[in-house]
Structure 1
């Protein structure tokens, strides 16, 4: 299996595409949305803590943020990003998860964590102070 997967991963890296590692779910009210996490230490550290319920707040008109109880282990994850709408990220100095609802400029100390669909981003943007739960995707048998 590794021999079959390795060429795909290498070609994706060489072509500048992002390799997604894991799919998780975000639950708001009765709706579930999938989020594709990136393949790096910080994203794995986040996924390892799931399930987790957070309350998001607006940070300006550009992002929604929620604070984690403990900071994430960054490891070899990238520590800067050019966030676009739907990007899930981790801001190192404040220890918060953020979701961009508008494109933003290049930012240091911002770890890209994953990508949300337009629908998921819109739901989070409109969620107010509702609890938002992140959980692993249940594997179908």
Structure 2
């Protein structure tokens, strides 16, 4: 028994601590705060697997979804065509064929300009092109590429979008 204890002490003294993985968290904004919920690393290619393409008229842009139950549910529905309307000069929204999972999601969120979201009470896919404040029922699914929010904003009135896996 004493030999086993000595072996454990020697092994602990000779071993090296595991190296920390340099990963950047993907923030979710709930109640105006940022919390890390997903980590993307080179050994975890979730970011590459969660890309979508959104076609809006003759425009085409991409987005990267966070690794969440809601995002995975959206991916299972693709390709999908959604008729969207403008809400409050900050977002385009339209109903999805089936609800998305809310597992692991906060009660609501404060989306940023350029976020892709889900409004659970209406079962709506949402493209944020303006400043929407915190609201219960909002789930941030991911982020539009670069200039996409401006392209969405430039589309007046109702639009039809097609969302596909990339």
Q: TM-score range by the shorter chain?
A: 0.7 to 0.9
Q: Greater RCO between the two (CA within 8 Å, min separation 6)?
A: 1
Q: Who is 1:75 aligned against?
A: 103
Partner deviation per Cα, 1:72-93 (whole Å, 9 max, x = no partner): 1222233421111111111111
In structure 1, C-alpha distance between the alignment counterparts of 2:123 and 2:83, rounded to whole Å: 14
Q: Who is 1:35 aligned against?
A: 63
The alignment's C-alpha RMSD in Å is 2.5
In structure 2, C-alpha distance between the alignment counterparts of 1:36 and 1:93, rounded to whole Å: 23
In structure 2, C-alpha distance between the alignment counterparts of 1:58 and 1:130, rounded to whole Å: 8
Q: Who is 2:43 aligned against?
A: none
8 Å CA contact 2:117, 2:142 repeated in 1? yes
Q: Which stretches of structure 1, 4 residues or more, deviate above 6 A after TM superposition?
A: none
Note closer, same or farther for the CA distance 1:64–1:52 as it changes in structure 2 (3 Å cut): same
8 Å CA contact 2:79, 2:164 repeated in 1? yes
8 Å CA contact 1:19, 1:38 repeated in 2? no
CA drift of 1:135 comes to 0.4
CA drift of 1:19 comes to 4.2
CA drift of 1:117 comes to 2.8
- 21-30 vs 34-43, which deviates more? 21-30
In structure 1, C-alpha distance between the alignment counterparts of 2:146 and 2:165, rounded to whole Å: 20
SS at match of 1:7: coil
Q: Which runs of 5+ in 1 are unaligned?
A: 1-5
Between the two proteins, the alignment pairs up a number of residues equal to 131
Q: Who is 1:7 aligned against?
A: 21
Normalising by structure 1, we get a TM-score of 0.79
Do structure 1's residue 133 and structure 2's residue 162 form an aligned pair? yes
SS at match of 2:152: helix
- 103-112 vs 32-41, which deviates more? 103-112
CA drift of 1:118 comes to 4.3
Q: Which runs of 5+ in 2 are unaligned?
A: 1-19, 27-33, 41-46
